[in-house]
Structure 1
Amino acid sequence: MNSTPYPARPARISLAVRDSSTMLRRNLLHVRRYPSLTLNLLLTPVMLLLLFVYVFGEVMSAGIGGGGADRSDYIAYLVPGLLLMTIGSTTIGTAVSVSMDMAEGIIARFRTMAVHRGAVLIGHVVGSVLQSVVSVALVGAVAVAIGFRSTDATALEWLAAFGLVALFALALTWIAVGMGLSSPNAEAASNSAMPLILLPLVSSAFIPADTMPGWFRPVAEYQPFTPAIETLRGLLLGTGIGHNGWLAVAWCLGLAVLGHLWSASLFRRDPR
């Protein structure tokens, strides 16, 4: 009997890991060579942080604290939402990068090579998650510089907060990859991914959802950013989390699975 033409399962796993590592290194080099896109996307949450703290901070803190709060209270309230908004902003670059690879025929070329099929997408996803975590750390450093403090969080809560950030970045990245694969060019990919940065604007990132008009409140409450923001806020500041923790995890897992299935389906199609 002829031996099977396919490698044994351990060998296939080893090849997949090797090819995924190569693709990850390629994407990280691409970010290093073209940092302007990342910097432009990173500036949005930083500018919003400075704007809301130094321009609207006094008014917003008075509204949230019932008139007895100061600017530092609003900084503490604002930062968790801006950290997750940073992830949405960063993943727009992922959608653009994937679309550029498709439009320029790079992915089509990889299809003709002895490269594990999933390695191309995995390289984009892992690279984007790492980039998102670094971006969150940079925005967090700016927040600390202007007065944000999380003195009550335990080591376990910090670990849970990091896990939530990474899981949220993974979920949004898979959605962004699908948007990039479905877009005909980089401009369309950037436009289709804009909800990833606009949704935080209609969440509890800047003001509590229960202070919004009744007709608008469900939009803020029943979307992925609000439960994730409230969970991160609870972990870092000691506020109540309630059912938001389970909702945040469910949203992250659901979006990650949906994005993966969507991206894999698009990737299996014939190249453009």
Structure 2
Amino acid sequence: MAYNPPLRDWHGKTVWLVGASSGIGQATAHALHARGARVVVSARNAGALDDFVRSHAGAVALPLDAADPAAVAVAAQAVLAQGPIDLMMYCAGHYREMRAAEFDLAEMLKHQQVNYTGALYLLDALLPAMRQRGTGHISLVGSVAGYRGLPKSLAYGPTKAALINLAETLYLDLQASGVGVSLVSPGFVETPLTAQNRFSMPALISPAKAADEILRGWADGEFEIHFPKRFTLWMKTLRVLPYALYFPAIRKFTGL
């Protein structure tokens, strides 16, 4: 079922990727540029953005801390001044392993600011123009870690759960307006964030493979683009289990 207008022809389209200095964001920016999109890349790492622009003619680097609402507003005005935005992908991310015994409020709030609140700042800056125009697409990068509570994901998981709920509600509110909404739910992807993990990551894929899955999902008009299926379908099964089965299953699988 197509939930959104299919996005297949990227020639001449303007795409703003926030969180594009590495990993999924950078790989998706590369794939979109190869298909003819005008790519604007943002992140805190200005050096990485400059490197990207040097190897992608016509791409625009716009350094940005998505957790700074004033900076987001200025950046959005700069992008919109060049014409309408056809797609905004929010893929900024922060991750540190945490369990309750090491509860760190500062880290909890940093996860919230980068992973979730930054998306709200972008929506505040872009939604009025998209709704007025009656076109455009918002894509939020969540995670299967947001499906249900998981050990070591005390800080990260709740922010991704919030993004899932946000995307679902945005879709319901915006479907009739012509503005598309999609949720990207990756499993394990080889990025600087997952490089911190000290456990075996099942079905680990490359950022390039993740980007291919994302563009395929946009082309098919999907709402949730989840991958790799051999892992995410298993996680979806766990998502519907009652607690009496879910908690023992997670303890058995993780050993925690």
| TM tier relative to shorter chain | 0.3 to 0.5
Q: TM-score, normalised by structure 2?
A: 0.32
> Which is richer in helix?
1
Structure of greater Rg: 1
Q: TM-score, normalised by structure 1?
A: 0.31
Q: Which has the higher contact order (CA 8 A, sep 6+)?
A: 1
